[in-house]
Structure 1
Amino acid sequence: MNTFKRLTDGLLKDVHELRELKSTMDEESLRKADLILNPKIEDATLRERIAKLREKLGDKVLERHSDCDLRRFLKARHLKVDKAVTMYEEMLKIRTRFGLDKPDFFEAHQPMDAFANHYPIGLCGHDKDGYPIAYEFPGLIDVKGFDSSMTNEEFVTQVLWNLESLLCSMELRSIREGRLCDRWSFIVDMRGLSVMESFSKNHIKRTSEIQRILDACYAERGGRVLILNVSAVYDILYNIFKPFLAHETKAKILLLKSENELLNYIDADQLPVVYGGTKVDSNGDPECSEWITRGSIVDKSLYKL
């Protein structure tokens, strides 16, 4: 089993276990879980803004969305109720477009072969705040291969599948551990970033679309974004995508001068040896390849575009 398959199987298992857990919880257990997932909001001004937001949205508010969920939209829009309304409505449009709330979403959109076998990604350990750490390798993405084997809609759907299943996994963990885990952090390794591939028109279009969706649908879900091996290419790309980044997202992006700086945010036993930590996988691999894959060139037999 390849690394990506192992990761997605684990996430899908958590999705199913969360569904089963919720269906078997009694009223008292559900109440306790709700207290963990939706802690009381103490700020009176914030509670007032949430009430106004809920009133303006009316029956558009998803049944599962608590005041804590609405708070994320307000915080992402500097507590401006009208702007939060616009953001929430955009989120609803995106969720409808990709069918994210359909009962069979996870079963119907499991990763396609190109994505599952060749996309560089990882999920390994947690930071000092307890947030799971996702790994991204923009410089190792076979841009031409993915352009030739998947439509942008298919590619974005795969990204959303990962995010939605990760949210379920974090909710399950929160209930089991009795402590809220409601966001993730990133380590983004820019090594190998190519000017030619990074500036392809379709790659920029697809990446911009993903960033727009992240901003609209996953407000306040992202923790720190720790970026390694920055080059001049990154500076140019950042300026291109900067207009699509929320102010709060920009504030969380940290450019690290060396891998040693990762230890300021992640304990050594949660960080792979290759990045300056002490963590290895069950095979003793310092790159933790059991949980992190650096991808590969997409097999041309998968090309269809």
Structure 2
Amino acid sequence: MLEKFSEQDRDVVKFLREQASTLLTKTYDTDYNLLRWAQGYNHNADEALVHLTRHLKFRKYYDLDNIHERKSDPILEKYFPLGLVGKDNKLLVVECAGRIDLQGILLAVQLNTFLTQRFRFQERMLSEINRMERENGSQSSVTYILDLEGLKLDSKLLNVVTGPYRILWASVYSNYPEWIDEMLVVNAPSFIAMLWKAIAPLLPERTRNKVKIFSGSSDWKAEVLKRCTPESVPVHWGGTKVDKNGDTKCREILNIPNDLIPKTLYWVPTPEAPKFSDLTKIVIVSGGNHVVTFRVPFSKDPISIAINRFCERTYSMAVYHSDDDGAIDLDLHQMNDWAPDFDYPGMPTVDRVIAPIPGGGIVKVKFGNEQAWFRSLPVYYRISFVNACDQPIAYECIAPTAA
């Protein structure tokens, strides 16, 4: 494929492939996947490499190459569905966000489950994009319809949209640059200006420029058809596509939520994820971080870190590893950032995430409050280490430090 690229494209793609060779997997290593990183950072090779490297470590931490093998969460499958409905060297994706019980999602689903479900969908899209690129020999992308029909203004909406929902999209875009060609926000309510005013400054300029907003009274269906072939678009959104049942919304392949999540499905504490008051509390000053250090014994068997975490506002987290016992005294940048530093949204549920670590040695977990200018941030956590059977193993916790 490289012969079809511009000289600038070829140079950056070759640079990224050479510099990231130890992290690239056979699944992910395609010319167009690397090209997207070059495009996302205006062909600044060094900057693109920094973000690509962070993503490749994130891919390994979350095992994104194999995330399709994980079970789909039934609550999110029913109440927060995303639909991939059309192919024309572009994917058409429909999200009926106006009918999603966003507040109910936050009360019913733990953060790691929420992220895993979203990344499963992102990898499904990426797989389809890569397949079309192999077949057509040209770059593919996504036309994203965000349908706000049914969205109601309430006191909690702004906090959800500017908090967890924004952080989710930031995480998606920082790990999947240039995957969206355009996002068409349709059936936008009259209060969309207020929401957009709150959200827009928080988005990268390249992302903002891809968003087009249409009210319910505008001829947005014509705009959809300017970008997609009619046979790829369900009738409800302006095309000619129906499912096997003749449904104009193609609900055979698009699960469109209409109900609030029953309170019986709301998250409740368990021994594996107890109420937050049972966790260790730390308070991180604005712009600061808090590091907890562990000495984990070496073992021939796989070892995973088990983290419970809870916070009401955005926080950052990263996991660092070294098999050298002297790493106790090392700064974080001198260690392997096994789980690279990313922001995570505050959620009303206590999360539990289990992820493999490279092995025994020194492990440092960093929680951060880098986004805050003035406010301190309470974070609650519990960290342990388990074997392949999720059984606890012995470890030593060394005094935590704050910075």
TM-score by length of 1: 0.75
Read off the aligned partner of 1:86 and give its amino acid letter. Answer: V
Relative to structure 1, the CA distance from residue 262 to residue 51 in structure 2 (aligned partners, 3 Å threshold; closer, same or farther) is closer
CA distance in 1, matches of 2:140, 2:31: 14
Q: 1:271 aligns with which of 233, 253, 260?
A: 233
Read off the aligned partner of 1:151 and give its amino acid letter. Answer: Q
Q: Where does residue 303 of structure 1 map in the other structure?
A: 266
Relative to structure 1, the CA distance from residue 59 to residue 243 in structure 2 (aligned partners, 3 Å threshold; closer, same or farther) is farther
After alignment, is 261-270 or 149-158 more displaced?
261-270
Q: Where does residue 22 of structure 1 map in the other structure?
A: none
Q: Where does residue 114 of structure 1 map in the other structure?
A: 75
Deviations 1:29-50 (A, max 9, x none): xxxxxxxxx4534322332333
* Structure 1 runs (4+) greater than 6 angstroms displaced: none
Q: Where does residue 281 of structure 1 map in the other structure?
A: 243
Contact 2:89 2:140 in 1 (8 A): no
Relative to structure 1, the CA distance from residue 52 to residue 287 in structure 2 (aligned partners, 3 Å threshold; closer, same or farther) is closer
Q: Where does residue 133 of structure 1 map in the other structure?
A: 92
Contact 1:52 1:81 in 2 (8 A): yes
After alignment, is 290-299 or 192-201 more displaced?
192-201
CA distance in 2, matches of 1:48, 1:171: 21
For residue 285 of structure 1, report the CA deviation from its aligned partner. 1.6
Q: 1:95 aligns with which of 43, 56, 59?
A: 59
Structure 1 segment 213-228 matched on structure 2, within 5 A: 213-228=171-186
Work out whether 1:49 is the aligned partner of 2:8: no
Read off the aligned partner of 2:93 and give its amino acid letter. Answer: A
CA distance in 2, matches of 1:154, 1:45: 40
- May I ask how many residue pairs the two structures share in their alignment? 261
CA distance in 1, matches of 2:21, 2:238: 50
CA distance in 2, matches of 1:244, 1:291: 32
Relative to structure 1, the CA distance from residue 195 to residue 90 in structure 2 (aligned partners, 3 Å threshold; closer, same or farther) is farther
Deviations 1:141-160 (A, max 9, x none): 11222112101221121011
SS in 2 for 1:277: coil
Q: 1:212 aligns with which of 148, 170, 173?
A: 170
Name the structure with the higher helix share: 1
Q: Where does residue 159 of structure 2 map in the other structure?
A: 200
Q: 1:190 aligns with which of 127, 133, 148?
A: 148
After alignment, is 245-254 or 157-166 more displaced?
245-254
Relative to structure 1, the CA distance from residue 218 to residue 282 in structure 2 (aligned partners, 3 Å threshold; closer, same or farther) is same
Contact 2:37 2:52 in 1 (8 A): yes
SS in 2 for 1:195: coil
Read off the aligned partner of 2:206 and give its amino acid letter. Answer: E
For residue 239 of structure 1, report the CA deviation from its aligned partner. 3.1
Name the structure with the higher strand share: 2
Alignment RMSD: 2.6
TM-score by length of 2: 0.58
For residue 55 of structure 1, report the CA deviation from its aligned partner. 4.9
After alignment, is 240-249 or 159-168 more displaced?
240-249
CA distance in 1, matches of 2:132, 2:30: 19
Q: Where does residue 45 of structure 2 map in the other structure?
A: 81
Relative to structure 1, the CA distance from residue 246 to residue 65 in structure 2 (aligned partners, 3 Å threshold; closer, same or farther) is farther
Structure 1 segment 100-179 matched on structure 2, within 5 A: 100-101=64-65, 103=66, 105-108=67-70, 110-126=71-87, 130-172=89-131, 175=134, 177-178=135-136
Q: Where does residue 255 of structure 1 map in the other structure?
A: 213
After alignment, is 110-119 or 261-270 more displaced?
261-270
Read off the aligned partner of 2:243 and give its amino acid letter. Answer: D
Indicate the structure whose relative CO is greater, using CA pairs within 8 Å and at least 6 residues apart: 1
CA distance in 2, matches of 1:212, 1:229: 23
Relative to structure 1, the CA distance from residue 52 to residue 168 in structure 2 (aligned partners, 3 Å threshold; closer, same or farther) is closer
Relative to structure 1, the CA distance from residue 52 to residue 260 in structure 2 (aligned partners, 3 Å threshold; closer, same or farther) is closer
Relative to structure 1, the CA distance from residue 120 to residue 59 in structure 2 (aligned partners, 3 Å threshold; closer, same or farther) is closer
Q: 2:193 aligns with which of 215, 235, 238?
A: 235
Relative to structure 1, the CA distance from residue 216 to residue 193 in structure 2 (aligned partners, 3 Å threshold; closer, same or farther) is same
Contact 2:89 2:132 in 1 (8 A): no
